Amino acid sequence: MNHQLESRPNLDKNETGVALVCLIGGLVSISLAAIFIKWSEQEISPYSTAFNRFWISTIVMLLWYKLSGTRSQKMEQKPQPNSIYTGWVLLQLLGVGIFLAADLMLWAWSLTQTSVANATVLVNFTPLFTSLGGWLFWGKRFDRKFVIGMSIAICGSIALGINDLQLSPDKLTGDIMALLAALCFGIYLLLLEQLQTRLNAIAIMLGCSASATLLTLPFVLSAGEGLFPYTWQGWLSVICLAIICQVVGQGLLAYSLNRLSSGFVALFLMLDPVLAAIGAWVFFSEGLTFLNLLGFAVILLGIYLALSGDSAIKEQVPLVQA
């Protein structure tokens, strides 16, 4: 009995460690999106890029889902129950795809109406929306360390773009679109956090990619833009975007929410523009300033403080039922 009581804290630490590793892997994969998108947009529009990202990832996830389902049925000698796919679960699956697609399209739109610095700063307010949504809708409470850490990290993200920040009425529309993109991604994370208590990451990402495909297609068709790349380099870009950023990146992100709170995951993802900036420095020879590095350090400090609080880790590890 005593041995069981003593082993549980170690088990919790191991599960938290695995979730953190998955979150780091997801962040690194997602941060590569900026590079693949930049290459893809040499041939097709941002909306067509998003559409190709989603339909390719839908096919990959469908194959993966079928293979994993067949394997589990052979091991258990019985089919998986379908009762888990209730109307509410299906609605949430539709929601994650809608809000992820809306986030990407609003982000792309904001970049045409405002500066990159403005859009980057505003989109990093996602942790505020995620934490506020968790408090309003699910009654979550956040300890002092988490709140202080989140505040410090947001200040660090603002420092990254403060030199290029432009306050102008002409950019108001783009600024609002960037803020709405942050809101949509915050809702996406909250829905992911709820879904992972009922479904595994493969099923969640399949539903997300499929619904996002259905949402983005009408926008591309109505704009009269080309749907697909026309060179092998363009195809390679969207395939890498789908597999590395959507399947692997978002899949690991969904898995990490099995142990980490959506508020902390949103906070951790504030490192995305930093890693994207490093990738741009490596692949496109774009410069990194001292202020970039300082902002990076401040964000890391905020994340460390948030992780040391009680609100970053869930009290219980939910069981995946399908």
How far is CA 321 from its chain centroid? 23
CA–CA gap between residue 177 and residue 107 (Å, rounded): 7
Q: Are 248 and 64 in contact (CB under 8 A)?
A: no
Confidence (pLDDT) at 18: 86
Confidence (pLDDT) at 309: 72
**Mean pLDDT within 294-306:** 82
Confidence (pLDDT) at 45: 84
CA–CA gap between residue 158 and residue 161 (Å, rounded): 6
pLDDT in tens, 188-204: 988 888 887 788 888 88
Q: Is the pLDDT of residue 57 over 90?
A: yes
Burial of 225 (0-12, 13-18, 19+ CB in 10 A): middle
Nearest to 165 by CA among 208, 101, 118: 118
**Mean pLDDT within 132-148:** 77
> What percent of the chain clears pLDDT 70, i.e. is strictly above it?
77
Q: Is the pLDDT of residue 60 over 90?
A: yes
Confidence (pLDDT) at 10: 55
Distance (Å) of CA 93 to CA 135, 236, 253: 22, 28, 15
pLDDT in tens, 239-260: 999 999 999 999 998 888 888 8
